[in-house]
Each structure stands twice: as structure tokens, then as C-alpha cells.
Chains A and B, each alone.
Chain A
Amino acid sequence: MEHAAASPLEAMTRAAEDPAGYVEQWKARTGGRAIAVFPMNFPAEIAHAAGLLPVIVQEDRNPITLGNNLLSEFNCGYSRNLADQAATGRLDVFDGFFMADHCIQLIGAADVIRELTGGRRFYLGQLISSMNDPWTPEQARLTMTDFVAELSSFAGVEITDERLRESIKTYNRGRKLLRTLYEQRRSGDSRFTSGELQTMVKSSMVMQREEHNALMEDLVAQSSATPRDDRVRVHLSGHFCHAPKPELLALIEESGGIVVDDDLFHGARYISTDADESASPVDALVGQYLERNVNVPCPTRAQSDVDWDAYLLNAVHSSGAEVVISLLVKYCEPHMLYLPELRKALEAEGIPHLLLETEHEGIPLETMRTRIEAMFEQATRGRAPTRVPTA
């Protein structure tokens, strides 16, 4: 096996940095087919149960060229980068494309991808986005059932309950392993940097789950706690689709901060919720979809009985974070809409909050450094004796 000789983190880094390379090798090795899936709600378990490799398409590092003539420059960097990947053949490794409704900009990118990857199946399923209506579970169930039928027909494999149940277990196992490290970080272990944790999550979106789980088992088994020092404890918030650039995470650490928790898609949001292994598999996936939005509320969904700001305050109290840094993907409307509520809630509790806007290209790292350092300095000046984690 290609990654057998590498250390777990090296193997993960390779897959996270070059998903297409991983997919090519996987296909050559297994003779299987891979599908591209998109954030945030597509139930990868179903594709896995059909024997496919579902890969969440990552933002890549290439500068956007053709993508700028396919979507407007005021679309978020992720959607333009996806359009660019489609236009330049970087998605050619995928045999099909599957997505559950997310946000309007991603739908725009989906149509560009469909247009430029002609002939390959692109399926967009409408998972109901109004989350707290009496009919929501039933509507979500219909869409999940539809996904099962579509993927069965795409893969030419009958996705039985049994297969689906196995896949759910495999994915639950993977999330649990990742959560173990996240929980340790929350309660004071600083063995892994936020960049390393991001690599683990990102690679889990790319690699075949069994293989990733095996690497994670190794990592967790080897893990020995490293006590946190007195750097400023940071909660990172935002980025619903792609990972913040590793250099930005490094910058936070260089500036005297340590990330103790996050609600990033490439982080706590993605691994927050399992599917119930004792329920019927489709119902379990529906439950997972609904519960995830309660566990870590998402601004692309409509749910009037949960609030991201309430979640954030709660998370900050449990991890003992001293400051919150919101990473806003430039032009990301769902995030922009919720920011005032977040700010109000944090201000009301006196929790310092810094908003950093990120772009696909040209992140002004030095300007950010100045702002981050200023914030940390202020946080340490007014430091209460200790904010200890409550969970």
C-alpha cells in the first residue's frame, strides 16, 4: 500500500495536499470509481456503501485563472476556485459529482462544473434547509432515500441497509477518533498544532475511510498529552467550505496564540455528529443531518430555535478560550449575515473578537499579524487570573 511506510501524519499530509494524486492512486490500486462531493451536507456514507470513494473537493493552491471568467470576482474564492478546477481539468479524476443543497454561490459553481465536465453525472439533491418544521424530518428522509437510489444506480450496486449500516459505523469511528483529539485539545492538551489537526480532518475528507481510520488509530494510540502553556487561548470560527490556509494558523501560533477550539468546517463542525447506529440507516442519516445543525449551527440552514451565537458562547466557556477570531471567507454571505449577532453576543460577555477576511489569493499576512498581535496583547493585559475549561 502506497502510504504504508509513511508516518500517519505524513500520509495524511500527502492526501490533504494532493487529493487528486491520492484519488488516482486509489483508483489504480482498487479499480474503483471516485466521486466529488461538496460541502457541507452530502451524506458520504451512502457513496461509501456503494463502493465509491467520495471525496470532498478541497480548495487548492493554484491561482484562479479561467475561473475568473466563469464566475464573478465577487463570488467567494472557494466557488471561483472550483470553477477554475473544472475549467483546467483538475476535476477530471472524478467519475461523477454529488452535492446536497448548500448556498447559492456553491450552486453557481455546481452549474459551471456540470457545464465544463460534460457528460459526467452531476446530481444536486435538495436536503430541506428549513430545519425545525414539523415536516422537516420526513422531507429530509425523502431526499436521503433519493440519494440512496441515485448512488445505487450510478454505482450499479444495490445499497442495502446492511452495507449502509457498515458504512455508518466506519464513518462514526472516524469522527470519534478525530473528536478524541479535539476533546483533548479543548481540555488542555497541545500536542498537535491546529495545522496538524486540520491535516487530519482534511485528509479524512479525501482518503478512504478505512485507511484513514487506521492512521488515526495509530495517532491516537501514540498520543501523549503535552500541557498547554500560557499563550492566548483562541477559538477559531467560520470558514464553512474550505480550510483556512495553514500559514494563517501558523501565524496565530507565532503571534502568541494557541487554538483551543473551533467551529470550522475543517474542524469541529465536520466531526461533530454521528449517525445513530441502532436506527434504520436512512433515518440515522436524517437524524445526523438535523442534529449537526443543533450541535454546531450552520448559517446556510434556517433554524429559528438554535443560534450560532449561543453555540459560540457555550463553546468559548467550555474550552476556556479568551478570544474569538472569526475567519470570514470574502463574499461569504451566510457568514456575513450572522456576524452582527455573533459580535453582539461576544461583546455582551466582554469576549474580545477579531474579524479576519480571507481570500483565495493574496492574504495580507503582515497586516493580519499586526491585528492579531494587538488583540493578543490586549487579551493578556486584561487577563483574568485563569479561564479554566469547564468541560
Chain B
Amino acid sequence: MATLVEDKSNRLRMTGRGGELVGAYWDELFTARERGAQVVWYNGHALNPLFQAAGISWCHGEAFSARLAAQHLEGPAQLAGEEYGYVNELCSYSRTHLGCAVLTNDFGEGETGIVGAVDQRELASRLPEPDFFVNGYQGCSTGQQWDQMSYRILGKKVPIFTLSLPYMFGSKPDAGYLVGEEWETATNYVVDQLEKLIEFLEAQTGRPFDYDKLGEIMGYIKAASQLRREAMALCMAKPTPATYWDWVACIAHINFMPAGQRLIDYFQGVKDEVVERLANGVSGVANERYRLYFDGIMNWNKLGWLARKFADTDAAVICGRYTHQNFWQEPQLIDPENPLRGLAQHYLLCSNSQGFKTLKEAMVKDCDDYGIDGIIFHASRTCRAYTNHQHLLARVAEKQLGLPTTFFEGDIADAAFYKDEILEVRLAALLETIDAKRART
């Protein structure tokens, strides 16, 4: 792999602070058993506000796999998954987490989960095994089956709740983003599902669910999310004060960390730093010459590397589907007085579960708003939910927006699929096309 001598990326200072908060969250989860807390393993949508209100500790499967990958500690779990029989073409989030379940089952007779084998210690080895599972997937059959598999690996004794969430294909004639019969019906359906989940949580905890607490939590999420969106919008400025990689770095916070004043303070800090940069003319990339849109689920092994790589070519990656069309991106829908409706609607808005029409409109809007010059598609090898629409989106970008596009291959949590040389060549070609286009106009 090529080495980058000079780091021209200028990441937000708050990213470092954010990393500490995430570390603290996981450390706290690892001691859940000692504190007598129940633990839920959940996959898919951000169900954590419900768990927080119910007083349960939570482990988001994708987040745990992403964390291991980001720390380059995914190997032992993936090996365990492979030995159990999961081939490497299977979603690497699920493979990694299923590997954790295999290790838990083999070594975790005690209370603490994945412990025992010395060589597994590095694998965030204190993840507590679950008291129950909740699966919250929409459309992605892999995501749904992943918990069915964990359930089997752990001996079919851990209760499992599957939340049914409709994929927003847009079948009805009036279907559209946040409007139409399908949106309304789906919202009501999911509210109903959430009520059933709450009954399940009550049965698991033996306590009545605290709706007031949920309202309070949603209030924090709403405020944090507004700050996040405002800070993102400030990046329409040229040059951009922060980049896509900064927004990737704070996904964990908005997506699964406990909601409280600390969350608001963190996003206030992020926004303040962006404002301060704007005031002082400080940009997210030393010498911004290109503004790119990134379409793809994140390659967690390579976050820092990619940030430097793009900056090295003077390309500021400004926004993307993963960061800008996910994670409480419509805070106005949250009503702390009526929290379930806002939760339901946000689950329906996950960009993994939208038909092409909605995805196309959102991409076109972001490219216009942020003054994008070209699009880079990360074909994340083992996540078909995310790659399904990329070729159609590339056609729209080229035909409708006149934007050059390129693809590179990688993966969410398996480093083996990333080829640096390919990205290098494709990125260079993309930037050349932008140059040529500029020369013509």
C-alpha cells in the first residue's frame, strides 16, 4: 500500500473527544454484568432509546463489528465465524458478530462472555453475552437472519424479538418521501410493532416501561440531531470547514450512545468548531480543489486512511448517503410528547430501506446543495442492501446531473476486499475528468 507522507486532511478536534466518549460507552457496557444490568444484543435500527428508557444495557451488533474493524481487531471473531462455516461473501458485520457469538458459546460459560482463550483477549473480550435479542431490520434479509443464527448458535435459549419493518419500495401511486398512503400506513404499522416490543421489554425486565423517560431521551436526541444537521449544512460553504469523514466519526454518538445532556454538549462542540473554522477561514482539506459525494456504507478499517487519501489529492469529500441520509436526519419528526411516532418514522427513513426514487431525489438534492463536482461509489462488497442501487444512482448522476462517477471496491468490516491501487487509479481518473470538464466550460 502506498504511503502518504503529508497529511492534508484537517479533521475536527472534536473527533478525538468523540473517540473518548465512544470508548467510555463500550467500557461501561463491558461491566454491565457486574452492575447487575440486563444486556440486549440488537441489530438494525436505532432501538437504543427504548432500551435506555427500559434500563437495559445494549450492544448494537453492527456497531460492535464496526468498532472491532476500526481498531483492526476483527480478525479473531472473523476467524471463529469462518471456522464455524460462514464464508467470506457473507455480510462482514454479521460474520464478525456471529463469530463473537461462537466465541461466547465456546468460551463464555461464566458471566462475562467472550473470555477464556488467551489469543482472543484482544477481541474486545469483555462483551457480555445477551439476556435477549431484538432484531430491527427492514428489507435486508441478511440482517434479519443474522439474529436468527445468533439465536441458534447460543443454543436457542435466549429470547428473541423480531421487529417487522416495511421496506419503503414506493408501491402506491402517491408514494413519496415523508408523504403518501404508504408512509402513513407504514408509520402506524411500526408504531404498533414498537408497542409490542415495549411489551416484550416489560416482560424481560419485569418492570413497567417508562414512557416519560423515553420522551426525555427523545428530546435529547432531537436537540443533538438538530445541531448535527446544522453543522453539516454549514459545509455548503466553499471551501468546506469539515468533511464527510468528520460526520462518519460522529455516527456512533447519534446512532447508539446514551442520550443525555452529554450528547447535546458533544454536538454543540462539533457545531461550534465548524462555526469557528468558518469564521477563521479554516478548511477541512488543506487545499480544496474538488468537492465529492461519497456513496457507500463505511469501510471502517480504512476511515483514517481514506480521509488522508482523498485529502492528498485535494479532494474534499463533503457529504454522502451514509452520513446525510441516515441517523435521525429529520429531527423535526421527533415529538418528545409522542415519542413512538417519531421513532417509527425514523426507522422507516433508513436509506438502506428506500426504493430508488427516494434515493435518487436525496442524492440529487445533496449534490445540488453542496456544490458537488463528482461522485465516488464505495461498492461495499458484502452489503447488498447498500450496493443494490449504486449503478442506478451512477446513471442518474451522469445523465441527469452531468457529474462524473467512479466505483471502488472495499467492505464494511473486512479489510481483504479493499485494494488501494484500484482506488488510487479510479480516483485519479475521476479528478482528471472533473478537470477536463472544467477546462471545457
Task: List residues of A whose CB falls within 8 A of some B CB.
Answer: 69-72, 74-75, 101-105, 107-108, 110-112, 114-115, 122-126, 128-130, 133, 135, 139, 299-300, 302-304, 307, 330-331, 333-334, 336-341, 343-344
Q: How far apart are B221's CB and chain A's nearest CB, in angstroms? A: 26
B262 interfacial contact with A, CB 8 Å = no
Q: Check A108 against B389 for contact (C-beta < 8 Å).
A: yes
* Contact among A104, A115, A130 for B139, CB-based, below 8 A: A104
* Contact among A70, A126, A133 for B167, CB-based, below 8 A: A126
Q: Mark B238-254, 1 if CB is under 8 A from A, else 0.
A: 00000000000000000
B151 interfacial contact with A, CB 8 Å = yes
Q: Check A124 against B169 for contact (C-beta < 8 Å).
A: yes
Q: Check A124 against B171 for contact (C-beta < 8 Å).
A: yes
B25 interfacial contact with A, CB 8 Å = no
Neighbouring B residues of A105 by C-beta, 8 Å: 384, 388
- The secondary-structure label for the interface of chain A is mixed
Given contacts A304-B156, A333-B384, 19 further A-B contacts (CB under 8 A): A72-B391, A74-B382, A101-B167, A104-B142, A107-B139, A107-B167, A108-B384, A108-B388, A108-B389, A111-B169, A112-B391, A124-B171, A125-B171, A303-B148, A304-B160, A337-B94, A337-B142, A339-B87, A344-B85
Neighbouring A residues of B144 by C-beta, 8 Å: 129-130, 302
Neighbouring B residues of A139 by C-beta, 8 Å: 164, 189
Q: How far apart are B310's CB and chain A's nearest CB, in angstroms? A: 22
Q: Check B356 against A72 for contact (C-beta < 8 Å).
A: no
Q: How far apart are A301's CB and chain B's nearest CB, in angstroms? A: 9
Known contacts: A304-B156, A337-B149. The answer to whether A111 contacts B89 by CB under 8 A is no
* Contact among B135, B356, B385 for A302, CB-based, below 8 A: B135
- Rounded to whole angstroms, the CA-CA distance of A340 and B381 in the bound complex is 21
Q: Check B160 against A124 for contact (C-beta < 8 Å).
A: no
Neighbouring A residues of B146 by C-beta, 8 Å: 337
Neighbouring A residues of B85 by C-beta, 8 Å: 339-340, 343-344
8 Å CB interface, B126-166 against A? 135, 139-142, 144-149, 151-152, 156, 160, 162, 164, 166
Neighbouring A residues of B385 by C-beta, 8 Å: 104
- Rounded to whole angstroms, the CA-CA distance of A229 and B382 in the bound complex is 44
- Rounded to whole angstroms, the CA-CA distance of A111 and B393 in the bound complex is 11
B196 interfacial contact with A, CB 8 Å = yes
Known contacts: A114-B356, A139-B164. The answer to whether A107 contacts B169 by CB under 8 A is yes
- Rounded to whole angstroms, the CA-CA distance of A307 and B152 in the bound complex is 9
B390 interfacial contact with A, CB 8 Å = yes
A-B contact list, 27 entries, CB within 8 Å = A70-B392, A72-B384, A72-B390, A72-B391, A104-B385, A112-B392, A114-B355, A114-B356, A124-B169, A126-B167, A128-B164, A129-B141, A302-B135, A330-B89, A333-B91, A333-B141, A333-B142, A333-B145, A333-B384, A334-B142, A336-B87, A336-B90, A337-B86, A339-B85, A340-B85, A341-B149, A343-B85
Most buried by A among B94, B135, B384, B390: B384
Neighbouring B residues of A302 by C-beta, 8 Å: 135, 144-145, 147-148, 162
Q: How far apart are B161's CB and chain A's nearest CB, in angstroms? A: 8
Neighbouring A residues of B392 by C-beta, 8 Å: 70, 111-112, 115
- Rounded to whole angstroms, the CA-CA distance of A104 and B385 in the bound complex is 6
Q: How large is the interface on B (under 10, 10 to 19, 20 to 34, 35 or more residues)?
A: 35 or more
- Rounded to whole angstroms, the CA-CA distance of A303 and B152 in the bound complex is 11
B329 interfacial contact with A, CB 8 Å = no
Q: Check B89 against A331 for contact (C-beta < 8 Å).
A: yes
Q: How far apart are B380's CB and chain A's nearest CB, in angstroms? A: 9
- Rounded to whole angstroms, the CA-CA distance of A107 and B166 in the bound complex is 12
Q: Check B145 against A299 for contact (C-beta < 8 Å).
A: yes
- Rounded to whole angstroms, the CA-CA distance of A110 and B89 in the bound complex is 22
Select from chain B the residue with minimum beta-carbon distance to A126.
B166
Select from chain B the residue with minimum beta-carbon distance to A130.
B162
* Contact among A111, A130, A331 for B356, CB-based, below 8 A: A111
Q: Check A71 against B171 for contact (C-beta < 8 Å).
A: no
8 Å CB interface, B11-65 against A? none
Closest 8 A/B residue pairs (Cβ): A108-B388, A340-B85, A130-B162, A103-B141, A124-B169, A111-B356, A126-B166, A333-B142
Select from chain A the residue with minimum beta-carbon distance to B148.
A302
Neighbouring A residues of B160 by C-beta, 8 Å: 304
Q: How far apart are A299's CB and chain B's nearest CB, in angstroms? A: 6
B379 interfacial contact with A, CB 8 Å = yes
B387 interfacial contact with A, CB 8 Å = yes
* Contact among A300, A304, A340 for B141, CB-based, below 8 A: A300
- Rounded to whole angstroms, the CA-CA distance of A125 and B170 in the bound complex is 10
- Rounded to whole angstroms, the CA-CA distance of A344 and B105 in the bound complex is 15
8 Å CB interface, B384-406 against A? 384-385, 387-392
Neighbouring A residues of B390 by C-beta, 8 Å: 72
Q: Check A74 against B142 for contact (C-beta < 8 Å).
A: no
- Rounded to whole angstroms, the CA-CA distance of A195 and B387 in the bound complex is 35
Most buried by A among B87, B142, B387, B388: B388
Q: Check A130 against B388 for contact (C-beta < 8 Å).
A: no
Q: Check A69 against B391 for contact (C-beta < 8 Å).
A: yes
- Rounded to whole angstroms, the CA-CA distance of A126 and B356 in the bound complex is 17
Select from chain B the residue with minimum beta-carbon distance to A128.
B164
Known contacts: A71-B388, A108-B388, A128-B164. The answer to whether A336 contacts B169 by CB under 8 A is no
- Rounded to whole angstroms, the CA-CA distance of A331 and B189 in the bound complex is 32
Q: Check A123 against B171 for contact (C-beta < 8 Å).
A: yes
B84 interfacial contact with A, CB 8 Å = yes
Select from chain B the residue with minimum beta-carbon distance to A344.
B85
Known contacts: A70-B391, A72-B390. The answer to whether A110 contacts B152 by CB under 8 A is no
Q: Check A130 against B384 for contact (C-beta < 8 Å).
A: no
- Rounded to whole angstroms, the CA-CA distance of A340 and B164 in the bound complex is 26
* Contact among B87, B140, B166, B381 for A104, CB-based, below 8 A: B140
Neighbouring B residues of A112 by C-beta, 8 Å: 391-392
Select from chain B the residue with minimum beta-carbon distance to A341.
B152
Q: How far apart are A213's CB and chain B's nearest CB, in angstroms? A: 31
Q: Check B391 against A336 for contact (C-beta < 8 Å).
A: no
Known contacts: A333-B90, A340-B86, A341-B152. The answer to whether A130 contacts B140 by CB under 8 A is no
- Rounded to whole angstroms, the CA-CA distance of A303 and B140 in the bound complex is 16
Q: How far apart are B75's CB and chain A's nearest CB, in angstroms? A: 19
Neighbouring A residues of B384 by C-beta, 8 Å: 72, 74-75, 104-105, 108, 333
- Rounded to whole angstroms, the CA-CA distance of A71 and B391 in the bound complex is 6
